Amino acid sequence: MSQPSARRSAVYLLDQILGEGRLLSELTPSLDRLTPPDRARAQRLATDTLRGLERADRLLGKHLRKNPALHVRNVLRLATVELALGGDAHGVVNEAVNIVAGHKRHNRLKGLVNAVLRKMTDEAPAKWDSLRIPRLPKWLRGPLVQAYSAEIVAAIEAAHYAGASLDITAKADPNMAQQVLNGMLLPTGSIRLSGAPQVSALPGFESGDWWVQDAAAALPARILAAQPGERVLDICAAPGGKTLQLAATGADVTALDISDQRLARVRENLSRTRLEAKVVVEDALEHQGHYDAILLDAPCSATGTIRRHPDLPHAKDGSEFASLIDLQARMLKHAVTLLKPGGRLVFCTCSLLPDEGECQVEEALAHDNRLIVDRDALSIPGVDPQWQSDEGGLRLRPDYWPDLGGMDGFYIACLRRR
Ligand SMILES: C[S@@+](CC[C@H](N)C(=O)[O-])C[C@H]1O[C@@H](n2cnc3c(N)ncnc32)[C@H](O)[C@@H]1O
């Protein structure tokens, strides 16, 4: 059996994502045999390749008369991206040839791999930046162009290609955490770190002074503005970034999720940050109770998180949209029944699709005359009033804050029950 290496493992990840439609997050256990630095490197190589896939294919296409099998193509793509991004040519080409040579079914193609990659050694770094920014696949690009415009989608694609920094939410004073971590304090109070630091080695991790959370993902809990002693329900809570924010306000928080396995992360996070919440394993549609405030972070296409998860557009095909949209509508309808009169509910999804955001809130308002939308709740520091959408929610896009490094795509709205 071949020794695992970061590159070999990265090719395995690409084979699974591009061939089997699996997500990188499901595949991380397959990296357990690697050392922690190699594990991080394998993931970085795979995500870099997925971001640059269209460019790599364009360069390789000129030198391949026939498309080789997916595994060989993935070896070529990975090596091309590494070469384009300044990888050591000798090491990159040698290992690519060895990976193919060690494969029973494909080893007759090692000469081809060697010849093509020798050409890529000069060509990839020279031509890379002149190639267009990789586009989203049609199943996603189409609806997004319809919802926004071709120009906005191109800006979103540029943000996807640039990737994302590490954002932090502080448990208490963000200024203090910003100084300790030496990061950039964002207008909404999150802290942005450059590079790819090892999270668990950063000051304040062990003592639970902060947690990792994209700046956009930190806004729903800020908009809900839970108060000390309020009964607050966090629906679809795992892995718990928003639960921690809610618990840090001193509210009486119940964190609910259908997945006990994912709730283990919530329990770990609560224990590390020394915060308290009641953790409940239950289907949100079955839950009963009465709450002052509810945060519903509904399961969605996650198309707002492609900056961090470039595997998503390659592993998925949009066939799950309809069932997700239906589940979100049912969850929102049920969540309203759990609100005390006068209570408020923040509905959010990390999706770019209006069907999973604006349309859900429009529908809820049209069908339940007890509900009103609370636009004032969106007036929090750093939130641009221009991000508000017609029905009274907040539309966040990856191309916002271009000079600060972007944000995840999100939809957030605050509803009140009369
Ligand atoms: C977008 S994630 C939530 C992220 C989380 N709020 C955070 O900030 O870390 C969606 C969650 O919905 C949960 N979920 C899916 N269907 C559910 C259901 N019927 N009832 C409760 N939770 C559900 C999934 O297990 C998943 O953890």
Domain boundary among the residues 76, 105, 130 is at: 130
Instruction: List the 184-185 sheet strands across, edge first.
Output: 184-185, 191-193, 166-170, 210-212
For residue 284, report the distance from its CA to the centre of ligand 1, in Å: 9
Q: Domain check: are 113 and 257 in the same one?
A: no
DSSP state of 375: S
The pLDDT score that the predictor gives to residue 327 is 98
Domain boundary among the residues 103, 130, 157 is at: 130
The pLDDT score that the predictor gives to residue 219 is 98
The pLDDT score that the predictor gives to residue 197 is 86
Q: Domain check: are 265 and 346 in the same one?
A: yes
Strand 210-212 to 191-193 pairing? unpaired
pLDDT in tens, 273-294: 999 999 999 999 999 999 999 9
- Pocket residue to mutate for ligand 1, from 167, 257, 346, most atoms within 8 A of Cβ: 257
Question: Which ranges of 234-382 does DSSP label H, i.e. alpha helix?
Answer: 241-247, 260-273, 312-315, 321-337, 358-367
Is 284 flagged in the annotation as binding?
Answer: no
Is 214 flagged in the annotation as binding?
Answer: no
Give counts: helices (H), strands (E), the chain. Answer: 16, 12
Number of Cβ atoms within 10 Å of the Cβ of 267:
15
Question: Which ranges of 62-133 does DSSP label H, i.e. alpha helix?
Answer: 70-84, 89-101, 110-127
The pLDDT score that the predictor gives to residue 4 is 84
**CATH code for the domain in which residue 232 is found:** 3.40.50.150
Which ligand 1 atom sits closest to the C-alpha of 284? 20
Q: Domain check: are 297 and 342 in the same one?
A: yes
As for how many domains the chain has, the answer is 2
Q: Domain check: are 253 and 367 in the same one?
A: yes
Six token digits for residue 272 = 């590390």
**CATH code for the domain in which residue 124 is found:** 1.10.940.10
The pLDDT score that the predictor gives to residue 3 is 59
Question: Is residue 184 situated within a structural domain?
Answer: yes
The pLDDT score that the predictor gives to residue 280 is 98
Q: Domain check: are 111 and 223 in the same one?
A: no
The pLDDT score that the predictor gives to residue 110 is 96
Q: Domain check: are 208 and 281 in the same one?
A: yes
Q: Domain check: are 104 and 217 in the same one?
A: no
Question: Is residue 379 situated within a structural domain?
Answer: yes
The neighbouring-strand residues paired with 110 are none
Question: Is residue 352 situated within a structural domain?
Answer: yes
Which ligand 1 atom sits closest to the C-alpha of 327? 19
- Pocket residue to mutate for ligand 1, from 214, 258, 270, 275, most atoms within 8 A of Cβ: 258
The pLDDT score that the predictor gives to residue 107 is 94
The CA distance from 254 to 243, in Å, is 8
Q: Domain check: are 120 and 175 in the same one?
A: no
The pLDDT score that the predictor gives to residue 2 is 56
Q: Which of 300, 350, 359, 414 is catalytic?
A: 350
Q: Domain check: are 360 and 276 in the same one?
A: yes
Is 237 flagged in the annotation as binding?
Answer: yes
pLDDT in tens, 16-56: 999 999 999 999 999 999 998 999 999 999 999 999 999 99
The pLDDT score that the predictor gives to residue 125 is 98
Question: Is residue 137 situated within a structural domain?
Answer: no
Domain boundary among the residues 80, 107, 130 is at: 130
Six token digits for residue 221 = 């809990």
The pLDDT score that the predictor gives to residue 403 is 96
pTM: 0.95
Question: Is residue 254 situated within a structural domain?
Answer: yes
Residues of the chain with pLDDT under 50: none
Is 122 flagged in the annotation as binding?
Answer: no
With H, G, I as helix, E, B as strand and everything else as coil, classify residue 200. Answer: helix
Is 300 flagged in the annotation as binding?
Answer: no
Q: Domain check: are 215 and 111 in the same one?
A: no
350 annotated active-site: yes
Which ligand 1 atom sits closest to the C-alpha of 243? 8
Which domain does 105 fall in, by range?
Answer: 6-130
ipTM of the complex: 0.99
Question: Is residue 148 situated within a structural domain?
Answer: no
- Pocket residue to mutate for ligand 1, from 23, 25, 232, 236, most atoms within 8 A of Cβ: 236
Which ligand 1 atom sits closest to the C-alpha of 349? 1
For residue 239, report the distance from its CA to the centre of ligand 1, in Å: 8
Question: Is residue 140 situated within a structural domain?
Answer: no
393: buried, middle or exposed (CB in 10 Å: 19+, 13-18, 0-12)? buried
Q: Domain check: are 105 and 219 in the same one?
A: no
Residue closest to 159 by CA, chosen among 207, 216, 222, 79? 216
Q: Domain check: are 104 and 233 in the same one?
A: no
The CA distance from 289 to 201, in Å, is 40
Six token digits for residue 397 = 């896009």
Ligand 1 atom 24, closest CA: 236
Which residues does a 6 A CB cutoff place in the pocket of ligand 1?
236-242, 257-259, 262, 283-285, 297, 299
Question: Is residue 250 situated within a structural domain?
Answer: yes
pLDDT in tens, 170-217: 999 999 999 999 999 999 999 999 988 889 999 999 999 999 999 999
At 340, phi and psi to the nearest 5?
-70, 155
